[in-house]
Each structure stands twice: as C-alpha cells, then as structure tokens.
Structure 1
Amino acid sequence: MNLRLATCSYVEFRPGMGIPVRSTVGATRWPLPYQLAGHARLVTPTRDMLKIQSRDAYEFSYRRMLNGNGIDAIRRELLGIAAMADADDAPLVLLCFDQLGKLPPPNNWCHRLMVATWWTEQTGEDVPELGATGAPTPPPTLFDF
C-alpha cells in the first residue's frame, strides 16, 4: 500500500481532501460531520508538551518523541490506519485544532507542521498542508458536505 500524508486543521478539512486522522491529545470540541479513520498516537504530542510556550523548546521535545518512536513504528501505525480505512491512494490527513495563518510569525506554528517536516527529512516524501488559509473558518456543519 502506498502511504501518502497531508496535514490540515479539523475545521478546514473537507472529505475530498483525503482520510481524516486525529493527531491531537484531546478529542474535537464539537461534533464532526465526518468520521475520523483513527488516531495517530505515535505522532500525538503529550499533554506536558502542550504546556511548552517556546516554539524551539516544543519542537526539540516533539522531535525527540518522534525520533524515540521511530519512523518504522510510525509508518506501521499509519499504514494500519490506512488499511482499516481502505484508503487506496487517498492521503491520510493528520488533523489538529490550530488554524495556521491566524497569527503572524513566529507564533504561527503547530505540531502538524513539525511532523510534516520530520517525515520529509526521514523519508524524502512531501507532506502538503491543506489548510492554512489564514481566514477565519467556522466549524463545518453537515450542510457543508
């Protein structure tokens, strides 16, 4: 099975983008009009990491976690989610709460961009960001689909 990844926020995601996968510590704060295919636990930051305010310190801690889990274990977990979702060639879209572009740099960062960069460094495979419109987006409703 070919594994392709992308990233997006929960509110910017639309089903045509791929297979939605949770990558957050907490569950969504509102009902989703789409089914999550799974939870990518090996790329989910810890609750303690969420307390880190410095981007550099957060990224150091997060990358240490990713390296500790290892690319092979993470790939196996994601392939398992893809197989259960019968993803075919659709990308798994790692979702989180942050809408990028709402804050100016250097405050415009999120773990999903860090995992995308880390994945590309490890595998050479591009992980596109599908959200990041910068415009306020309300949570999707059933009428959006």
Structure 2
Amino acid sequence: MTTLELATCTYQEFTPDMGTPVRSTAGHPRFPLAYQLGGHAKLITPTRDLLKINARDAYEFGYRRLLNGNGLDNIRRELARIAAASPVDGPLVLLCFDRFDKLSPPDDWCHRSMFARWYTEQTGDEVPELGSRPRTAPPTLF
C-alpha cells in the first residue's frame, strides 16, 4: 500500500493550507468551520464509552484496543479512500477539539496524539502535530 501522509491538529487551529481536514471525533464541531471537512475517519474515532474514561492509562488501553481491533490495514484503507477523494495536495489532517497548549496541566492525552504514536509504531511513518504544542515550564534562572 502506498504511504499515507498524515498529520494532526485541532478544528480551531486548522487552516486549508495544511492539507485535507478529516474529522476524527465522535461529535461534530458545535461551531462553524471556515472550511469543509474532507471526510470522517470512523475507524480511529473514539467510542462514546471511551470518552467517559478520565484516566489516561485506561483510556489509552481502550483506545489502542479499538485501533488494534479495527486493524491497521482497514484503517489505512479508510484513510486512503478519504485521500483519494480529496482534491487537496498534502496530508490528511486528523482533527479533534483538544488544544495541547490549553490543557491543564499541560499534557498530550488526546486520542489524536495516541493515534499518532500507535500509527508510527505500526508503520514507522511519523504523524506530526500541526497545532499548538504543550506549554512548557518557564526556564528557571539560577
């Protein structure tokens, strides 16, 4: 299978020059988008039951179980279909709501970052984050 170019971002930070915006969330955005979505990556969308889990380890365990159950080949086929239907060059940008620079405490526990790690482990292909980075502690002086 050809290599898919993937990236992740938030709905709020996405701009059309980044690539094809792809929904990866259980719910639709409840705010107007300045762009049209190129599709919905259903096989990587967390279930409503997963969204009820507040503990990172338990969530990631359940989410990876979902990804493994759906299978890398099926996920890649779904994403390839979305990419083939897109008139835009560039990566499929998997979108969700969580801005990493707004989470408190700063953390990257979001399904899109978990998917990116899982996908890289499975394929060796990096999935860059295009949105804001997690806040870092200010440098200490002496």
Task: With the length of structure 1 as denominator, give the TM-score of the two structures.
Answer: 0.87
RMSD: 1.6
Residue 101 of structure 1: CA displacement?
1.9
Q: Which has the larger radius of gyration?
A: 2
- CA contact under 8 A between 1:102 and 1:108: conserved in structure 2? no
- CA contact under 8 A between 1:101 and 1:108: conserved in structure 2? no
The answer on 1:91 being equivalent to 2:96 is: no
Residues 117-136 of structure 1 show CA distances to partners (whole Å, capped at 9, x for unaligned) of 0000000000000002468x
Residue 109 of structure 1: CA displacement?
1.5
The answer on 1:124 being equivalent to 2:121 is: no
Tell me, in whole angstroms, the C-alpha distance in 1 between the residues paired with 2:103 and 2:33: 24
Residue 70 of structure 1: CA displacement?
0.5
- CA contact under 8 A between 2:108 and 2:134: conserved in structure 1? no
Residue 102 of structure 1: CA displacement?
1.3
Residues 25-66 of structure 1 show CA distances to partners (whole Å, capped at 9, x for unaligned) of 000111111000000000000001110000000000000000
- CA contact under 8 A between 2:56 and 2:109: conserved in structure 1? yes
Q: 4+ runs of 1 displaced by more than 3 Å?
A: 104-108
Higher relative contact order (CA 8 A, sep 6+): 1
The answer on 1:55 being equivalent to 2:61 is: no
Structure 1 unaligned runs (5+)?
136-145
Structure 2 unaligned runs (5+)?
136-142
Tell me, in whole angstroms, the C-alpha distance in 2 between the residues paired with 1:37 and 1:87: 9
